[in-house]
Amino acid sequence: MDLVRGSGLVPVKKKPKILHGSSSFYRYDVKFKEVVLFLVERKMGASRRNFLMELARRRGFQIESELRDCVTHIVAENNSRAEVVEWLKSKKLNDVIKYQIVDISWFTECMGAGCPIKIESRHQLMVQEDCPASFNTPVSSSCVRVSPYACQRRTPLRDINRIFTDAFDIMAENYEFWESKGPRVAYQRASAVLKSLPFPIVTMKDVEDLPHLREEMKYIIEEIIEDRKSSKVEEVRSSERYKSFKIFTSIFGVGLKTTEKWYRMGYRTLEDITSSNCLKFTSMQKHGLLYYEDIASYVTKKEADAVERLIKTIIWGFVSDAIVTVTGGFRRGKNIGHDVDILITCPQKRDEIQILHKTINSLKKMNLVLFHDIVESTFDDTKRPSRYVDSLDHFQKSFLILQLQKEEENTYIHKPNKSEAQRSWKAIRVDLVVTPYEQYAFAILGWTGSQQFERDLRRFASHEKKMMLDNHALYDKSKHLQCCELQMIVYEFLGIG
Ligand code: DCT
Ligand code: MG
């Protein structure tokens, strides 16, 4: 890291003015006068303590190296409350009630937020000395072992390291725009690792043992720890190419090839595209442009629930025992998504064959279809499964834009523009996927996501279990890729339940 810095490739940051001729004491403005911190050195170590003290000062906190009267918060790491109290008593400080005694997790969250945060029960010191077994308890990096496979990690819905994962997601997206698959997957993988952490990253020590973090990624993390932003990521984010690609690829029906072509032709903005007289659009793209604002805004959980009710009512009118399940991000518990993914299966083969066409015809009769495209099944069980972990499945599916009636005024989570506000409905992207009954378990597994989870699940099956998993079946590599029978217990079989 230092070699890179010393090479002149990376700008060296200016340090604040040094006071009193001491190399370790810089002047920082105190922003939070009511809070005075003290870090317990025991089990933290002197060098980590010094680093954290310096960090807190940079963030505008007052921090004392001695336990003075003015101290309000005592912060300890890997110590139980009883141990800290005993230590205070050994210092002849019996009036422990006057101090807030908190875990390092409170300190790190304050550093992440840039201000003192409310002390919650999770910030209390552990009763026992061991690392907490519960995933929900915030812990420090020294307690956590992070699996290299996303399918062996829990990924909380609340991403406490968003400042870092957003940066990595931008890098991944940019590599995708350049069609550089290796670096794209590397950044996606690293982002997924950081998303899974149950503690906020505050120092480089927090990331030193994590899997999939390359040196250049660590440099980005270091920049963000120091400056709250990374010059490399900012350069990407503000580049003309990235901005245009981001807009064009967000149009329904527009992929990388079309984006690349439009960019080469000199188009940069959405207005450039919509006002062009020489571009020819597919029907999907025309509809994508027509309902751009609605589709680019998020689908809420309430809207997804409304779509689910609508589709279930229609399907159960035809096949009373059909199984209809919302998958994708909403199945993972997200409150917003870019579309609604719905899986459909019928216990009887004859029902399954017609169900998608019948459903779309019903939606059309109700005047709810703004656009639809049906892709028929290409599944062929004589073919070997794809070895490519990102390969798409072969199910019959339909990509729709549905017209969803707004239930009340405030259906939008963003501020509606004038034309949207005048409408009593919103355009919603919906994917309907029909699967054979015997492949349904695998389809649910594959469509629930996230993308990284699915990718790693397939990698795990292949590398660790000598099996191959796709959205249709689990195959045993040692038995000439014969399909496994235990369909409903895929997780258990893979040992990741
Ligand atoms: N999927 C996958 N590989 C891909 C794309 C998708 O395995 N290349 C799976 C995982 C999620 C599921 O399909 C649905 O895809 P999306 O709707 O794109 O993802 P999502 O998680 O539902 O995201 P969003 O909440 O934005 O809709
Ligand atoms: Mg989705």
Q: What is the CATH number of the domain that holds 175?
A: 1.10.150.110
pLDDT at 273 over 80: yes
Q: Do 265 and 369 fall within a single domain?
A: no
As beta bridge partners, residue 434 has: 344, 396
Tens digit of pLDDT for each residue in 296-343?
999 999 999 999 999 999 999 999 999 999 999 999 999 999 999 999
Question: Worst-scoring range by mean pLDDT, 115-124, 317-326, 342-351?
Answer: 115-124
Structure-block tokens of residue 31: 């922003």
CATH number, position 313: 3.30.460.10
Whether 21 is in a domain gets the answer no
Regarding the beta carbon of 328 and ligand 1, being less than 6 Å apart is answered yes
Please give the tally of structural domains in the chain: 5
Question: Worst-scoring range by mean pLDDT, 152-161, 284-293, 406-415?
Answer: 406-415
Distance separating alpha carbons of residues 457 and 464, to the nearest angstrom: 10
Whether 139 is in a domain gets the answer no
252 C-alpha to ligand 1 centroid (Å): 15
Q: Do 217 and 255 fall within a single domain?
A: no
- Look at ligand 1, atom 25, and give the residue with the nearest C-alpha: 337
Whether 11 is in a domain gets the answer no
Whether 323 is in a domain gets the answer yes
Q: Do 315 and 430 fall within a single domain?
A: yes
pLDDT of the residue at 94: 66
Regarding the beta carbon of 470 and ligand 1, being less than 6 Å apart is answered no
Binding site, annotated residues: 339, 341, 431
Q: Do 324 and 434 fall within a single domain?
A: yes
pLDDT at 131 over 50: no
pLDDT of the residue at 2: 33
Regarding the beta carbon of 176 and ligand 1, being less than 6 Å apart is answered no
Q: Do 245 and 233 fall within a single domain?
A: no
Q: Do 274 and 317 fall within a single domain?
A: no
452 C-alpha to ligand 1 centroid (Å): 9
By the 10 Å C-beta count (0-12 exposed, 13-18 middle, 19+ buried), 332 is classed as middle
DSSP character string of 329-386: HHHTT-SEESSEEEEEE-SSHHHHHHHHHHHHHHHHHTT-EEEEEEE-----TTSPPP
Q: Do 303 and 435 fall within a single domain?
A: yes
pLDDT of the residue at 404: 95
Q: Do 245 and 227 fall within a single domain?
A: no
Query: What's the rounded mean pLDDT across residues 401-408?
Result: 86
Distance separating alpha carbons of residues 178 and 463, to the nearest angstrom: 29
pLDDT at 246 over 90: yes
Distance separating alpha carbons of residues 432 and 90, to the nearest angstrom: 67
pLDDT of the residue at 158: 82
Which ligand gives the minimal distance to the CA of 455?
1
Regarding the beta carbon of 129 and ligand 1, being less than 6 Å apart is answered no
329 C-alpha to ligand 1 centroid (Å): 7
pLDDT of the residue at 418: 53
Q: Which residues are catalytic?
A: 339, 341, 431
Q: Do 269 and 370 fall within a single domain?
A: no
pLDDT of the residue at 487: 43
Which atom of ligand 1 is closest in space to residue 455's alpha carbon? 7
Residue whose token pair is 């409408």: 423
**What is the enclosing helix (H) or strand (E) of 324?**
strand 323-326
**What percent of the chain shows pLDDT beyond 90?**
56
Q: Do 274 and 342 fall within a single domain?
A: no
Final residue before a domain boundary, out of 56, 88, 123: 123
Identify the domain containing residue 482 by its residue range.
451-493
Which atom of ligand 1 is closest in space to residue 340's alpha carbon? 27
Whether 9 is in a domain gets the answer no
Which ligand gives the minimal distance to the CA of 393?
1
Whether 130 is in a domain gets the answer no
Tens digit of pLDDT for each residue in 14-34?
444 434 333 344 578 899 989
Asked if residue 102 lies in contact with residue 73, where contact means CB atoms within 8 angstroms, the answer is yes
472 C-alpha to ligand 2 centroid (Å): 19
Cα→Cα distances 165→104, 159, 205, 231, 453, Å: 22, 8, 17, 15, 16
CATH number, position 253: 1.10.150.20
State pTM to two decimals.
Answer: 0.71
Asked if residue 246 lies in contact with residue 173, where contact means CB atoms within 8 angstroms, the answer is yes
300 C-alpha to ligand 2 centroid (Å): 11
Regarding the beta carbon of 334 and ligand 1, being less than 6 Å apart is answered yes
- Look at ligand 1, atom 19, and give the residue with the nearest C-alpha: 328
Which atom of ligand 1 is closest in space to residue 337's alpha carbon? 25
Whether 20 is in a domain gets the answer no
Q: Do 112 and 158 fall within a single domain?
A: no
CB neighbours of residue 330 within 10 Å:
23
Regarding the beta carbon of 205 and ligand 1, being less than 6 Å apart is answered no
For residue 80, which of 40, 110, 133 has the smallest C-alpha distance?
40
Confidence of residue 88 (pLDDT cuts 50, 70, 90): confident
Binding site, annotated residues for Mg(2+): 339, 341, 431
- Look at ligand 1, atom 14, and give the residue with the nearest C-alpha: 328
Regarding the beta carbon of 338 and ligand 1, being less than 6 Å apart is answered yes
Which atom of ligand 1 is closest in space to residue 431's alpha carbon? 17
Whether 4 is in a domain gets the answer no
Q: Do 394 and 432 fall within a single domain?
A: yes
